[in-house]
Amino acid sequence: MKHNILIPTDFSKNSLKALSYARELHKNDTCDFYILNVFSATSNILDSLLNLEPGSKLYEQAKYNSEEGLARVYDMITFSNDENPKHHFEVISRFNNVIDAIKQIVEQKDIEMIVMGTKGQTHSKATAFGSTAIYVMEKVRNCPVIVVPENSKIELPNEIVFPTSFKTHYKRRELNYLTSIAKKSDATIAILHVKEDDALNQTQIDNKQLLEDILEGTNYKFHNMSHHSVMVAVNLFVESRSSDMVAFINKKHAFFGSVLTNALVKNISFHLNVPILTMHDLRN
């Protein structure tokens, strides 16, 4: 089975790290990697889209810079010592805003996974995620996203932390990518329940059993923590165990609320060294 993976890039070190991570994660898979650079002619993307046309000096310069950057990335892959005969690479340059361009490529190329850096060239230590990573995780809801921090290790995960409240039920197809990564990596899924009450109610018990059924065939273990803040609990758990990845389903109106809102994202730090797999609630 061939996998189609999209790697958005702005040629920053973090985006190149994401490419390396994607290659390692799929090292035993036959893959088509699509490396996408989205360019605009000015820093104001709206102004670029409204006022600049192909043929104008600014447009042509931006297009040239995009294509040259992609050529350098392609050469870097081609001449590297870790060439994988199972991997094929295609570079794509698009004039658009990032979200629309990514959505188009996801549809046109039947993309099943997006892998990208947490931050780009405007790297800021004051924010947890760059705005582009946040928007992609929030808005591209028909495709899972892995965001890769600049300081993360380029290796298969040994433990994937999956926080849950057991308050909502999951569907098997929502968790396909989590179980797939766990199996190919021989990783343990650490199911983390941040307790609000001493005991689970009947709905939570039923949802826990459903989760066990879905995860059958993987290595998984249940863990409980008591803490008033889910995000702090996840952070402490990951740091104490040196976990390698955090996975969650971006469910609106449940558990995390919208976990990717700016206020919450700025208050978490576990992502700084750990890739995050964002899947989506298919009922939304």
Domain with CATH 3.40.50.620 in the chain: 2-148, 159-280
Residue among 155, 134, 157, 111 at smallest CA distance from 4: 111
58 has pLDDT over 90: no
| Cα gap 139→37, rounded to integer Å | 18
Of the pLDDT bands very low, low, confident and very high (cuts 50, 70, 90), residue 282 is low
- List the structure tokens of 123: 């790297």
Q: How far is CA 73 from the centre of its chain?
A: 20
Closest CA to 248 of 193, 187, 186: 193
Average pLDDT score over residue span 23-49: 82
Q: What is the mean pLDDT of residues 239-259?
A: 73
**Amino acid letter, residue 222:** F
- Is the confidence at residue 123, as pLDDT, over 90? no
Strand-pairing partners, residue 93, are 37
Question: What's the confidence (pLDDT) of residue 130?
Answer: 58
Any alpha helices (H) in the chain, and if so which ranges? 13-25, 45-51, 57-78, 98-108, 131-139, 176-185, 202-214, 230-241, 262-266
The pair of structure tokens assigned to 189 is 């899924």
Sign of CA dihedral 60, 107, 119, 267: positive
CATH number of 159-280: 3.40.50.620
Topology of domain 2-148, per CATH?
A: Rossmann fold (3.40.50)
Q: Given pLDDT bands bounded at 50, 70 and 90, which one contains residue 193?
A: very high
Q: Model's pTM, two decimal places?
A: 0.87
Percentage of the chain with pLDDT > 90?
55
Give the percent of the chain with pLDDT over 70: 82
Tokens for 251, please give them.
């469910």
Give the pLDDT score at 101: 94
Averaged confidence pLDDT in the chain: 84
Tokens 């921090």 belong to which residue? 149
Half-sphere exposure of 124 (CA within 13 A, CB side): 9
Q: Is the pLDDT at 265 greater than 70, yes or no? A: no
